[in-house]
Copies of this chain bind each other. A is one copy, B any other.
Amino acid sequence: MNFIFLDRPRPLSLTCIMGNRRKHSTACPRKVSEKKEQLKAFLKQKGFKSTRQRDIIVTEFLKTGEHITAEDLYRKINRKNREIGFTTVYRTLKLLTKSGFATERLFADNLTRYEPLSAEEHHDHLICLSCGSIMEFENLKMERLQEKIAEEFGFCIITHKMEFYGYCRECRDNAPA
């Protein structure tokens, strides 16, 4: 790996703007508890158990918002809850992913990041090579074009990944020649 931003401390700043409209980055408290209810129902239905750890992890994860690694989420939680282990954080994120509450993304820095999934929305990413910030966007034209291309190939898209690596407005001037 030789992306520039890998050699710097990884900031977690996350701007969330859509192609045309703006989008909420951090879920509001109402939504958080709503999601937690959904998850609880899901667990019960599957015969899984609700535990204190899961509750804490899920809460923190939903609060955090987006694009967090298992490691970072663990560290965040560990500050206040020394007894929750990395493995449990990791497994909870996997559980959330499998049950449709989160998605897993492998970025070019070879770190897997998780983000809460809000059903309908699928977005793409702009990743700044200087400050490491990850911005999201969603563009209808893009989605349509993708469908069209796939059709041309007789290809049936299940999911896609689209990432731009470059320099954000704030960092453009620092960009190497």
Contact surface of A with B, Cβ cutoff 8 Å: 17, 19, 106, 108, 110, 126, 128-129, 135, 137, 139, 141-142, 145-146, 149-150, 152-169, 172, 175
Contacts and interface: CB of A to CB of B under 8 A. Distances in A.
- Copies of this chain, complex-wide, total 2
A146 B164 contact: yes
B167 A158 contact: yes
Contacts of A142: 145, 149
B106 A149 contact: no
Contacts of A169: 153-155
A103 B172 CA distance: 24
A137 B154 CA distance: 13
Nearest to A161: B163
Contact of A149 (B108, B128, B139): B139
Given A110-B106, A142-B149, A145-B142, A156 B167 contact: yes
A157 to B, nearest CB: 4
B165 A161 contact: yes
